Structure 1
């Protein structure tokens, strides 16, 4: 099983060109799957897997308290794996063909209101290079709606403040050109002129745009710690995630009349149905405003 899994991961990297995080997710899910087959079902050959064993594996995950979203992701991983094995003639059947994904509970993304966004974005202390960097990151996230993984993946050549845009490589190595506003432009310019050079040390990475105190590319975990600290300092008691500013970006654009297709393009969503969840957010917020302020609500 280990060899088949390695071949599949190689296929995802070389032929499909999937993003690193997506490949890591596939590999983690399928290692869990093959480990279950070996240890629990006592199956040593993937050609012997039946539909029943896959159902038992999903039940095993559910017993562990895994969410419907996690189960659906495992189903997708297992299905893609078995389709690959059949196509490569490593097996003569696909036991996953009639396995259905669990119904997902669609939860609305949590967003900040405009006052909370302004409070958070004004929280970094720009009298030092750490605050200058943090301010630039927050302003850029809210100005463009890029993912945190895309933010920390930015290189020097991706930033074009003179022309008012950034170049971003998203999921599946797809390139996006996203405009930035004057406020983000100003924060980025200050970081480039006064902030970034103070992070550069012996381990200087000449391409990475946002650096940590070691002079290396900032990590996702590093950003997450910064965000939690700044939110606490700003007195924001809402549950924040690294995606919160991305959700807020999309919601505020749509609230102010932006075209759904344009928002989809800026977010890098392959399917517009993913972007449409933000229309539900805006409708919910409108209902809340109506109920709060209309005299006969």
Structure 2
């Protein structure tokens, strides 16, 4: 009987429950089986596939190919972090790929597929040292981002009813509706791309239910300006196509892709010489709401974070301004503090003073 290092307790590895898994199982095979469990969430599947492809490359550099699952050691999380940093990956990508690895290792643990010598708890403890050195990067959206909206709002609509003029007019109106929706909702690009006319009631609906990350439903909110831009676009279309944002080219009526929405933003950004992406609208609005005093719990709901720790980790640094204003308003100078104390406690102070001594001047008491 082949030597084995793991036993599976759940079905899904091509055998029956309880069947021994050979120690010849490769890392690539295990990754493929894990990714098959998240096929329903295409965005997560794509992101995790990219992250785990990088992880496989890291392991191949260290262990050689093919990489066997039994080669996992307690330093794999820490080593993968340093591998990504050495190759110039951004800290944002690093965190995303680390999330993919974490989910994969959790999958192995639940299915009893981790090597007997491997401890996920120890691996995470070791990785914390690197995490402390490289905290989550604070998003820094361009403060001129609203110019993207102004760019399309001020773009002249061509007159005429010929095919070219009509198509150009519809593309401009569509661009206005897209950027207003991104700004208003602070939604993810996939959420905005998936909207239907029924979802937004052709611009009459202020609260819209979307299926967000992890196939979880939540509300996004549309301002009056966003709803007007949507209504203007849908009215000009005069069609019965279901998607809210559609192609006005050869594939007329087909749902607009996320790439096309991305390009809508980047086209204006290039013209304005700005560095802005659709996801920056989300960061911009989160920071804006924090600056305006919105509580972190409300921002969590608006952004659709399942855990408030995510909101706090990414955006709490921007609450500094609000905290600073509270601090300034609640802090007295030493002289003000003394006068306030004397005003409240003058009778007690007089009792505590030696006979014949005068209490300190108390202008506030006189004013009262």
Normalising by the smaller structure, the TM-score range is 0.7 to 0.9
Asked if the contact 1:82–1:95 (Cα under 8 Å) also holds between the matched residues in 2, the reply is: no
What do you get for the CA RMSD once the two structures are aligned? 3.1
- The corresponding residue for 1:246 is 282
Asked if the contact 1:121–1:139 (Cα under 8 Å) also holds between the matched residues in 2, the reply is: no
Pair 106,55 (structure 1): closer, same or farther in 2 beyond 3 Å: closer
- Alpha-carbon distance in 2 for matches of 1:97, 1:279: 27
Alignment of 1:67-106 (within 5 A): 67-93=90-116, 94-99=118-123, 100-101=127-128, 102=131, 103-106=134-137
Asked if the contact 2:85–2:94 (Cα under 8 Å) also holds between the matched residues in 1, the reply is: yes
- The corresponding residue for 2:229 is 187
Structure 1 position 144 matched with structure 2 position 185:
yes
Cα deviation, residue 283, structure 1: 4.4
Alignment of 1:145-224 (within 5 A): 145-160=186-201, 161-195=203-237, 197=239, 206-212=241-247, 213=249, 214-215=251-252, 216-224=254-262
- Alpha-carbon distance in 2 for matches of 1:72, 1:231: 26
Pair 75,132 (structure 1): closer, same or farther in 2 beyond 3 Å: closer
Cα deviation, residue 265, structure 1: 1.0
- Alpha-carbon distance in 2 for matches of 1:156, 1:118: 21
Unaligned runs of 5+ in 2: 1-25, 159-168, 325-368
Higher relative contact order (CA 8 A, sep 6+): 1
Residue from 226, 230, 233 that aligns with 2:264: 226
Cα deviation, residue 281, structure 1: 3.3
Cα deviation, residue 278, structure 1: 4.5
- Alpha-carbon distance in 2 for matches of 1:80, 1:86: 10
Alignment of 1:46-125 (within 5 A): 46-52=69-75, 55-93=78-116, 94-99=118-123, 100-101=127-128, 102=131, 103-112=134-143, 116=147, 119-120=150-151, 122-125=153-156
**Rg bigger for which structure?**
2
- Alpha-carbon distance in 1 for matches of 2:55, 2:227: 47
SS of residue in 2 equivalent to 1:51: coil
Asked if the contact 1:41–1:53 (Cα under 8 Å) also holds between the matched residues in 2, the reply is: no
Q: Deviations over 1:206-245 (max 9, x none)?
A: 5422112222222222122221222344x3x332121222
SS of residue in 1 equivalent to 2:141: coil
- The corresponding residue for 1:262 is 298
Q: Say how many residue pairs are matched.
A: 274
- Alpha-carbon distance in 2 for matches of 1:39, 1:255: 46
Cα deviation, residue 144, structure 1: 1.4
